[in-house]
């Protein structure tokens, strides 16, 4: 992961622990998890809207061409 070894990851985690303290880490992790969940939800909603819009365009074209005939 990003070219980091085990020792580097442990060092980074220790620095984070020193900066934020043991009580704040669960809150930070919880907030990060909620943020990721919201991001994935928004991403799936946008993808669904795009697929629905792509499906609707051919239907509209067919109905307008059948009205002209």
> What would the pLDDT profile of 12-64 be if each residue is shown by its tens digit?
888 988 888 888 888 888 998 999 999 999 999 999 999 988 887 665 555 55
How far CA 42 is from CA of 17, 29, 62, in Å, comes to 31, 20, 31
Among 16, 27, 32, 29, smallest CA distance to 8 is for: 16
* Per-residue model confidence (pLDDT) at position 62: 55
Q: How far apart are CA 41 and CA 33, in angstroms?
A: 12
Q: Residue 12 and residue 9: Cα distance in Å, rounded? A: 5
Contact between residue 28 and residue 19 where contact means Cβ atoms under 8 Å apart: no
Instruction: Say yes or no to pLDDT of 9 above 90.
Output: no
pTM over 0.85: no
Q: What is the pLDDT of residue 61?
A: 54
Q: What is the structure's pLDDT at 60? A: 52
């Amino acid at each position: 992961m990003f070219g980091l070894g085990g020792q580097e990851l442990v060092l980074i985690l220790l620095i984070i622990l020193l900066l934020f303290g043991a009580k704040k880490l669960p809150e930070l992790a919880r907030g990060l998890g909620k943020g990721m969940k919201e991001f994935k939800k928004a991403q799936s909603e946008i993808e669904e809207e795009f697929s629905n819009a792509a499906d609707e365009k051919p239907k509209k074209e067919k109905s307008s061409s059948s009205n002209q005939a």
